[in-house]
Amino acid sequence: MKHRLSLFILAFFALSFAGAYYLGGLGRMESSADESAHYPPPKYDILGGLAVEASLLDLGDVWEDSEYALELPLRNQTGQEIRVTEFAASCGCVSLRPETLTIPPKDSKPLQVTLDLTKRQQSEVGRDVRPFVVDLSPRTSEKADSRPQSWRIQGRVKSRVTLDTLALHFGEKVVQGEPPVSRKVFASVHVPARAIEVRVDKPEVMAVRAVALNEDKSRYQLEFTPNADVLPLGPFKTTATVQVVTAEGETFRGPSLPVEGIVQPEIRLFPAQLLLGSRPHGKRTSKPIY
């Protein structure tokens, strides 16, 4: 009796273990199937046999950056070698490396793309969120298609700080030996910040003073003053870059502002006398007049 009971208990545990193993395996199979359903294979944008994963072309929301790095693997979908002789971009905000590519069949090569996300149109002045779109066209050694073809890189650019102008020009107001001339630019800060800083690539020729206009330091007045005693006569040009300093002490680069003008001399010299060439007037007669 005891022997039969022991056999029954062993059989019960064996069946239970086998059932648990089977159900567990089935559950894993169903889970894998569910995961495959939730994660479909990536989609590709294909141009002339070259494919780029579509999700890589969508930047989403990104912070303003003068050197935003993006890598695009270009896959050759054909059975023939593809040679890209050059790339054409719809704006000057793109730099590419390498500039030419040779991709074997069924292989891929990476294209390093650097985007300047600080460039903006006049209509986008002061906007803390703005769209970004650039078209990138590969030109291959094959016969060109008459239809325009390009990959579109797009997203939304967020700015930590914006300015109320795209450039600052002093005209001919800067004069050597006379009192300094200043110009004002207003900055809006769109993130919590301790302060903003302005760095000039030629600090000896341009002084900049940043003054907070409210308690939460979300609005600043930037005063630019050229140093006419250091600047040579004639045109001058420099670039100022605005940076945001967070409460934690981190520094983030913001927009760049081109500043230019013309330095005039204190005294302008004029000629002491003006000589005009002779020119006959009236009608000449045959007889002299006494």
pLDDT tens column, 138-154: 998 765 554 558 999 99
**Averaged pLDDT of the chain:** 84
pLDDT value of position 172: 93
5 falls in which pLDDT band (50, 70, 90)? very low
Tens-place pLDDT, residues 47-102: 889 999 999 999 999 999 999 999 999 999 999 999 999 999 999 999 999 999 99
- Taking residues 258-285, what's their average pLDDT? 71
Residue type, 159: S
Q: Which of 10, 85, 8, 92 has its CA nearest to residue 50?
A: 85
Which structure tokens are listed for 8?
């029954």
Give the angle subtended at the CA of 222 by the CAs of 221 and 224, to the nearest 5°. 145
Strands (E), 21-57: 44-47, 50-53
Neighbours of 116 (CB within 10 A): 16
Instruction: Tell me phi and psi for residue 205, to 5 degrees.
Output: -105, -5
20 falls in which pLDDT band (50, 70, 90)? very low
- Taking residues 220-246, what's their average pLDDT? 94
Neighbours of 288 (CB within 10 A): 5
Distance CA 239, CA 253 (A): 14
pLDDT value of position 220: 97
pLDDT value of position 283: 57
pLDDT value of position 41: 77
Scan for tokens 């890589």, then name that residue: 56
How much is the pTM? 0.72
- Candidate from 9-18, 58-67, 155-164, 238-247 with smallest mean pLDDT: 9-18
pLDDT higher than 90, residue 182 = yes
279 falls in which pLDDT band (50, 70, 90)? low
- Answer with the residue of higher pLDDT: 249 or 20: 249
* Contacting residues for 200 by C-beta, under 8 A, at least 6 apart: 206, 208, 238, 239, 240, 241, 259
21 falls in which pLDDT band (50, 70, 90)? very low
Contact between 168 and 191 under an 8 Å Cβ cutoff? The reply is: no
pLDDT higher than 50, residue 8 = no
* Contacting residues for 120 by C-beta, under 8 A, at least 6 apart: 127, 130, 166
Distance CA 1, CA 7 (A): 10
How much of the chain is in helix, strand and coil states, percent to nearest 5?
A: 15, 45, 40
Contact between 190 and 200 under an 8 Å Cβ cutoff? The reply is: no
